[in-house]
């Protein structure tokens, strides 16, 4: 299982390099099902892995002028504050047993996996639909920021990131195109910078709350970083839209599988 886990770690980076997102949605299932990490720790580990991989991936985008720093700061600040607060205070405050319906007990771990799987389903739908962004503009257009919407979206994405440990690129990219009027390529590059900052800063909110397996954490992150370089190289030769669609279907199947698996195992343990 561990060998499969390390191969999957490469795929996390490969996906980020190829389609500018989606990799983070694989990280938690890989950690939980292939490495046997408990779901709450897996969401913390995922923040470090996704954050460090995105940070490395953003450098070539920045050199190609595909990162808009002003937008990253405006969107990133509420997002970073929300993700840090979520990891430092909200997640530790969730009780081990959240609620029960008869014999069926909804635990903290079950709630996090179900919430994550639902997010996977939403992410997959946005990848499969892959409609051309109607708000996309050209490089030289004057930017008009919809500040209230950017701040609100930044905060929502931050809380979601904090709860489930996913970067949320599939939420950030459309928001940047619609509310900041960024061209698509700039939205992808800027999204990577936001994901890197909020994931790594959010992860620091966990350092006082749990013991980290640094060997596992650094080895998975290193493989994901190798994957992002391979993905960046391949992205020049492969059609991103067909890849994105195929990956979307894979994520959809995974999301449904996790929901069924978690609910069935919880139901079995209740009887």
Question: What is the pTM (predicted TM-score) of this model?
Answer: 0.79
Structure confidence at residue 175 as a pLDDT band (50, 70, 90)? confident
Structural contact between residues 186 and 58, judged by C-beta atoms closer than 8 angstroms: no
Q: pLDDT tens-digit profile of 121-162?
A: 888 887 788 655 444 455 555 666 778 888 888 898 888 888
Q: pLDDT tens-digit profile of 239-254?
A: 767 777 887 888 888 8
| Mean predicted confidence (pLDDT) in 29-42 | 91
Mean pLDDT of the chain: 84
Q: pLDDT tens-digit profile of 69-103?
A: 999 999 899 999 998 899 889 989 999 998 888 88
At residue 117, φ and ψ (nearest 5 deg) are: -65, -40
Structural contact between residues 223 and 9, judged by C-beta atoms closer than 8 angstroms: yes
Beta strands in the chain (DSSP E): 97-101, 104-107
Instruction: Using alpha carbons, select from 63, 8, 60, 55 the residue that is nearest to residue 31.
Output: 8
Q: How far apart are CA 177 and CA 86, in angstroms?
A: 26
Q: How far apart are CA 55 and CA 227, in angstroms?
A: 13
């Amino acid at each position: 299982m561990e060998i499969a886990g390390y191969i999957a770690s490469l795929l996390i980076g490969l996906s980020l390099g190829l389609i500018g997102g989606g990799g983070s949605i694989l990280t938690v299932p890989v950690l939980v099902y292939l490495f046997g990490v408990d779901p709450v720790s897996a969401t913390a580990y995922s923040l470090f892995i996704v954050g460090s991989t995105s940070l490395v991936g953003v450098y070539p985008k920045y050199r190609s002028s595909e990162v808009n720093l002003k937008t990253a700061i405006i969107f990133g600040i509420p997002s970073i504050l929300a993700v840090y607060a979520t990891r430092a205070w909200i997640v530790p405050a969730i009780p081990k047993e959240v609620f029960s319906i008869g014999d069926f007990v909804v635990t903290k771990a079950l709630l996090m996996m179900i919430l994550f799987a639902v997010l996977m389903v939403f992410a997959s739908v946005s990848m499969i639909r892959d409609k051309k962004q109607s708000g996309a503009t050209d490089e030289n257009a004057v930017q008009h920021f919809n500040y209230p919407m950017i701040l609100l979206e930044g905060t929502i994405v931050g809380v979601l990131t904090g709860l489930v440990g996913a970067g949320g690129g599939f939420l950030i990219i459309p928001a940047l195109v619609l509310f900041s009027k960024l061209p698509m390529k700039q939205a992808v590059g800027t999204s990577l910078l936001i994901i890197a900052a909020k994931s790594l800063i959010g992860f620091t909110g966990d350092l006082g709350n749990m013991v980290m397996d640094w060997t596992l954490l650094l080895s998975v992150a290193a493989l994901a970083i190798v994957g992002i370089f391979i993905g960046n190289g391949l992205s020049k030769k492969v059609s991103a839209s067909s890849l994105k669609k195929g990956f979307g279907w894979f994520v959809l199947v995974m999301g449904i599988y996790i929901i069924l698996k978690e609910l069935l195992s919880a139901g079995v343990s209740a009887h």
